[in-house]
Structure 1
């Protein structure tokens, strides 16, 4: 299993509170309060419908804890597990009203994060066969970046930049605004701290040839097919990290990774991965 650590609850507690308040509104869970006796207890099984990789259990547990400290959650399959269709990954027990109140927020997050982890796991396995890794991008759901990038790690991928302050990535518009590739490289030189990585995007082998004369950490090979990527990797010859990007979908990973690039970045992992179908099966007492 890929080595990862869940983020501190401090990272996502405010997000969970916002989501719960969005659902509860000003009046609370009217249906549960009217229809369900205050003394009713619920036991629910968190069941995965299709096969997939589980992510988001710590967030689900924290969601129920915020709703009521009387709710207990027993984890049957740990975070990052690959589970079969119909498998139960956790059991939630507590006051029926409270469990019903937290159900949707907890499931929404688990389904979203598990979907990302599931797709990433498949893509990462295809890339690893050729010695490459897959990374996510900043194309994340507003407000969910930390959790979606965490789900990518659960899937065996790696994170690219978390934000604009996390390294320098010079793209085509930066180059155009600066007056060309040489001009932008001149501007960067001597203005970056020694701990800050510099990556430059190129979209042609001619641009790459210019870049190879300058000291940078990584090159982003944008919108190049596998055949052109092979030529680019040969030109770089290990002098910097090579990363392929631009419209790469999971089913294309193996062909692109076979070019010899070090990394493949897929915005698809966080902007298009389908949620994994997960449900709660209730029993009451």
Structure 2
């Protein structure tokens, strides 16, 4: 498993005080072995069940964890996602952290899947943004992929994205792109964000790879798609709702970035139930 994810697991468990669970320590005999199962209480797409498993194995490698619905699986209310067996005390110590991760990642995957389904039949990809929760971006971006979406740049080092403030600092779109081409490593893509037709036309004449159409109407974008004539990849961003994305994708847009995937999702309701003996 990715070292970044293992670090998140360790820090999350430490934050939760798993080594000093006063409730479990005082009430649960460490010798008790219990069996339980994770159950979906709503329909959605599973993401993070392998991370959930890793949480328990971090606490106690002897815990048996059987995944029935791996990440990317669709589930309905009542579906069993995984079985778990082992020290009840250790399972209880990791329960909250494991569920927090599983519920949130599955919520992101579920929302992403809905957006992806809306643009089915077009050549448009749904991509995420950097509008993620601090320190757990690796989990949230994986959840987007599990939901059928694609990742935009992971961080600031992955791609040049020239926005209005960068342009203001340099003086023009043309100069910004030329300067970036001179200074960044070969192979790093350059994207320019534009808000008007004039800015688009200026960006179109540069050697950028992608032009982002920010907060434009469908009518404005339709005109620019025609002018572009497939010269550059076009990304649409801003106010991209479930109801709107198909109409935007149908214009011939290549990418639609949706910040809501990682900042406005609803966690998928999942519970851990123990089997009574």
TM-score category, normalised to shorter length: over 0.9
Give, in angstroms, the shift of residue 184 of structure 1.
Answer: 1.6
Q: For 1:109-148, list aligned pairs within 5 A.
A: 109-148=101-140
Instruction: Report if aligned partners of 1:227, 1:259 keep a CA contact under 8 Å in 2.
Output: no
Q: For 1:90-109, list aligned pairs within 5 A.
A: 90-109=82-101
Between the aligned partners of 1:160 and 1:113, the Cα distance in structure 2 is: 17
Give, in angstroms, the shift of residue 30 of structure 1.
Answer: 0.8
Q: For 1:1-285, list aligned pairs within 5 A.
A: 8-24=1-17, 28-285=20-277
* 1:75-127 deviation digits (Å, cap 9, x = unpaired): 11222100111100100111110111110000000000000000101101212
Between the aligned partners of 1:64 and 1:9, the Cα distance in structure 2 is: 16
Between the aligned partners of 1:81 and 1:189, the Cα distance in structure 2 is: 42
Runs of 4 or more, structure 1, over 4 Å off, are none
Between the aligned partners of 1:55 and 1:126, the Cα distance in structure 2 is: 20
Give, in angstroms, the shift of residue 284 of structure 1.
Answer: 4.2
Q: TM-score, normalised by structure 1?
A: 0.94
Aligned residues: 277
- Matching residue of 1:4: none
Unaligned runs of 5+ in 1: 1-7
Unaligned runs of 5+ in 2: none
Instruction: Report if aligned partners of 2:109, 2:145 keep a CA contact under 8 Å in 1.
Output: yes
RMSD of aligned residue pairs (Cα, Å): 1.3
Instruction: Report if aligned partners of 1:40, 1:284 keep a CA contact under 8 Å in 2.
Output: no
Q: TM-score, normalised by structure 2?
A: 0.96
